[in-house]
Chain A
């Protein structure tokens, strides 16, 4: 399964991305569980809204971080892991 950049990621129903002040970072909350996200995952996660496509997320973050060539790769990798773990759906 390769990644189509025109697809739009959305959090799986019941999964919630939010900032946790006590942990000084973003987490993904789901039934009886929690994943602490690292900085880049948090930036990507913050743009997942069921509206933006993968391509748009890449454009957004490339603008935010000009001169960082791995941005697109990181985003694709995140999407693939998140899809395999069923944290997101891609439609």
Chain B
């Protein structure tokens, strides 16, 4: 449907039919899209086994142009978006990245660049600063081999990252270092934390990989055991206490995989209530994993963001609580977790509207119990993972 014309949502002046088109909540009950995630490209020099990009990324459509991104950014800003994250794939492969950053900053966004650091140079760091970039997050999402070299103290790998991290800090950026942890590196979490502190990170995200996209396929090779996880959390807490006692500004953020929880996470703070993701080809999603769902999502080439956020079918599909079947429907915790993650429910049960199986009240919770059990005994899969890593390592070595 074409846009309703008015930038300020005022349902009173509109014909009665407009209300039905949305089939969603009244606009004043819908949160603002404060967070815009701009996935600029699916191109990426790496092939991480835990990549959260869609499995069929090679078949996705054409990338949005610079002007199309300008329009998206302006519309979202008008609607309240204050944070913008440039990610991918690897956003550094977009030749117009500095231009996009500049426009975002001009519009008043807090601009975040989320990069693997592959392809980052001191020159680019300076150019982005000049364009108005506020913050750089470096994700240590490279192959396990590279991270392992780093953790084992490989001078070369360390020197590269160190140089880049120093340049980031020297140009006055705050720096977030993001480490994806999994069963093969989580036992070295103390080394990871030490490394981040040495690099003067302002924030350190220790994120146990979440099981979407590629990570779901590789779950057996990635999911840590409960014991591993508990130890890692304990070590993290010890470092937190130490940093706090020193008045050190570095903040450690520990993200556990929800496979070991009894209640699901409040995914995206509720469907279509805070986050707006635009994929490289312009598809708008309420969460970066949502593309895999059997739900039709709008595209910024066809509609403006007012329509997309407030009226489109996709953004209203799981808004509010009316869509919920049991046990969520009559559950007194539904306002806390919104029934959990729709993508996880779909991936594990084949039905996106079911309770997230992480919930102990879900009839499908057995799937999670089985995965935990398998994590205790997984060995075979490690070899397959290692094979992948070697190949990845070659790619990096050549780059």
Binding site for B on A (CB under 8 A): 12-16, 18, 20, 22-23, 27, 29-34, 86
Contacts of B83 in A (CB 8 A): 29, 32-34
Residue on B nearest A21 in the bound complex, by CB: B80
Q: What are 28 A-to-B residue pairs whose CB atoms are below 8 Å? A: A12-B174, A13-B174, A14-B134, A14-B135, A14-B172, A14-B174, A15-B174, A18-B108, A20-B82, A22-B32, A22-B79, A23-B32, A23-B82, A27-B82, A29-B82, A29-B83, A29-B110, A31-B134, A31-B135, A31-B137, A31-B174, A31-B202, A31-B203, A32-B85, A32-B203, A33-B83, A34-B82, A86-B249
Query: Which residue of B has the minimal Cβ distance to A83?
Result: B247
Closest Cβ of chain B to A84, distance in Å, is 9
Contact with A along B237-281 (1 / 0, CB 8 A): 000000000000101000000000000000000000000000000
List which B203-235 residues lie within 8 A (CB) of chain A. Answer: 203
| Known A14-B135, A14-B202, A22-B32; 18 more pairs at CB < 8 Å | A12-B174, A12-B249, A13-B172, A14-B172, A16-B134, A18-B108, A22-B80, A22-B82, A30-B135, A30-B174, A31-B134, A31-B137, A32-B137, A32-B203, A34-B83, A34-B110, A86-B249, A86-B251
- Shortest Cβ-Cβ A-B pairs, 10 listed: A14-B174, A22-B80, A29-B110, A31-B135, A86-B249, A31-B176, A31-B174, A13-B172, A14-B135, A22-B32
Chain B residues near A34: list those with CB within 8 A. 34, 82-83, 110
B162-199 interface code vs A (CB 8 A; 1 in, 0 out): 00000000001110100000000000000000000000
A-B interface pairs (CB < 8 A), number: 55
In the bound complex, residues from chain A placing their C-beta under 8 Å from that of B85 are 32
Chain B residues 121 to 146 lying within 8 A of chain A, measured CB to CB, are: 134-135, 137
Interface string of B283-305 (1 = CB under 8 A from A): 00000000000000000000000
CA distance A34 to B32 in the complex (A): 13
Q: Please, which residues of chain A bring their CB within 8 A of the CB of B176?
A: 31-32
- The answer to the question of B47 belonging to the interface, with a C-beta cut-off of 8 Å to chain A, is no
Q: Which of A12, A22, A31 has the most CB of B within 10 A?
A: A31
**Dominant secondary structure at the B interface:** loop
A27 to B32, alpha carbons, bound, how many Å? 14
Contacts of A13 in B (CB 8 A): 172-174
Chain B 72-111, CB-CB to A under 8 Å as 1, else 0, gives: 0000001110110100000000000000000000001010
| Residue B112 at the chain A interface, CB threshold 8 Å | yes
Neighbouring A residues of B135 by C-beta, 8 Å:
14, 30-32
What is the minimal beta-carbon distance from B129 to any residue of chain A, in angstroms?
Answer: 11
- A31 proximity list for chain B (CB < 8 A): 112, 134-135, 137, 174, 176, 202-203
For B32, the closest partner residue in chain A by CB is: A22
Kindly provide the distance from the CB of A79 to the nearest chain B CB, expressed in whole angstroms: 15
Contacts of A30 in B (CB 8 A): 110, 135, 174
A83 to chain B, nearest CB (A): 9
B169: nearest chain-A partner, CB-CB: A13
Taking CB atoms, residues of chain A closer than 8 Å to B174 are 12-15, 30-31
Min Cβ gap B193→A in Å is 18
A75 to chain B, nearest CB (A): 21
Q: Are A23 and B134 in contact (CB under 8 A)?
A: no
Most buried by B among A12, A15, A29, A32: A32
Closest chain B CB from A90 CB (angstroms): 12
The answer for the CA separation of A15 and B202 in the assembled complex, in Å, is 11
Measured CB to CB, the closest approach of chain B to A22, in angstroms, equals 3
In the complex, what residues of B have CB within 8 A of residue A33's CB?
A: 83
Q: Which residue of A lies closest to B172 (CB)?
A: A13
Chain A residues with CB under 8 A of B112: 31-32
Decide: A23 near B80, CB < 8 A? Known: A14-B135, A16-B110, A18-B108: yes
Residue numbers in B under 8 Å from A27 (CB-CB): 82
Q: How far is the CA of A31 from the CA of B34 in the complex (A)?
A: 14
Chain B residues near A86 (CB-CB < 8 A): 249, 251
A13 to B251, CA, bound (A): 15
Residues on A with C-beta less than 8 A from B203 are 31-32
Residue of B nearest to A30 (CB): B174
- Rounded to whole angstroms, the CA-CA distance of A20 and B85 in the bound complex is 18
Interface contact A20-B80, CB-CB below 8 Å:
yes
Most interface-central of A12, A14, A27, A86 (chain B CB within 10 A): A14
Q: B270 → chain A, closest Cβ, in Å?
A: 17
Chain B residues near A22 (CB-CB < 8 A): 32, 78-80, 82
